[in-house]
Each structure stands twice: as structure tokens, then as C-alpha cells.
Amino acid sequence: MSQPQNRNRWIEAGFELFAQEGLEGIQVERLSRILKLNKSGYYHYFGNPERYQGVLMRHMHKQADLMVTEIRACAEFDPGFLHLMVKHKLTILATMQLVRNRNVPMLMETYREVTNKIDTALLPLWAEYIGLAHNQPLALRYFEMIRDMFFSRITENTLHYDFLVMVATEAKALVLDLNRT
């Protein structure tokens, strides 16, 4: 296998472990066993854990950019964006890990940058879905609250379309109830 392919395998495997377990899940020996590669390759490509984490955060940006491109092609929040979340499950789970590890400055900065990209693309769909298309700043503030709650509730097993519909429906119902009062 070529060097770039091996390097990419280290990145993909590390990103998956990060998405599932956070920084605690990423150990050189464990990655080496999973990939059936000598851990000297890790040090050759990345040098040290801090550089590797930086590479993973750049990979996170690339994944978010892919998601943003697809969000812009969505016609509606449900089902379009909700199915997109399932498709990009690892990216969503990795974003959750960024939140949970926000005490690490590089991860918090990545979280801010990634969510800003996604929020910008998603806001028109979200605002329309919850009936606040006329007030996108308010829709964004509400979305930020819902997102925080969402990240506290998701797991790898619950990140599926039915769960996402339930959360989105609850969020939309609250806005409808508030508008009735």
C-alpha cells in the first residue's frame, strides 16, 4: 500500500475513534492494532499526538465542508437535512466530541469554526421549518440551544432518522406553542 494511503488510513481510523470516544479513544498502540500497521508509521506521518490531533481537526473541517455543500442542496430541513445527518453520522458524532472536550482549546476553536459553517448553511432551512423564516437571528439563537440539548442526548445508537425527527418535532412544537400564547 502506498504512503498516502497508509497516512489516510491513520486519519480515517483516528477520526472514527475520536467520533466514538473522544480524545481518550485515540492511542497509538490501539490505532496500530486496528490498522495492522507498525506504530512507527504514525510517528513518521504525524510526529506526535498534538500534530495528529491537528490533522484530525483539519479532517473535521473537510468533513464539515462536505456536509455544508450537501446542506445547500437540501430543499427542506425534514427529511432532507435529517437524512443528511444520518449520512454524516461520524461528523455529527465528532462534533459532539468537540463539545464534550471543549476544555481543549484546539477542539473548542474547531467546534466554533465548524458549527459556524454548518449554521450559516442550515439557518434558512431551520428557520423555515420552525416557522421563524421572518426572524432568522431568533431562529439561530433557538437552534444553538436545541443543538446543545441535542449533543447531550445523542449516542452512536440513537443517531438515526426516527430519533432526529422526534427531536426536531419537539423543537418545532415549542415554537408553535409559543406563537399561540
Mean pLDDT by 10 residues, the chain (181 residues): 82 97 94 94 95 97 98 97 97 96 94 96 97 96 94 93 96 90 74
Indicate the fold that domain 3-180 takes in CATH: Tetracycline Repressor; domain 2 (1.10.357)
Q: Rounded to 5, what percent of the chain is helix, strand, coil? A: 80, 0, 20
Kindly report, residue by residue over 76-118, the tens digit of the pLDDT.
Answer: 999 999 999 999 999 999 999 999 998 999 999 999 999 999 9
Taking the domains of the chain in order of start, what are their residue ranges?
3-180
Q: What angle do CA 110, 136, 162 make, to 5 degrees?
A: 70
Please tell me the total number of residues recorded for the chain in this structure: 181
Q: Which residues contact 133 (CB under 8 A, 6 or more apart)?
A: 124, 127, 139
pLDDT of residue 1: 57
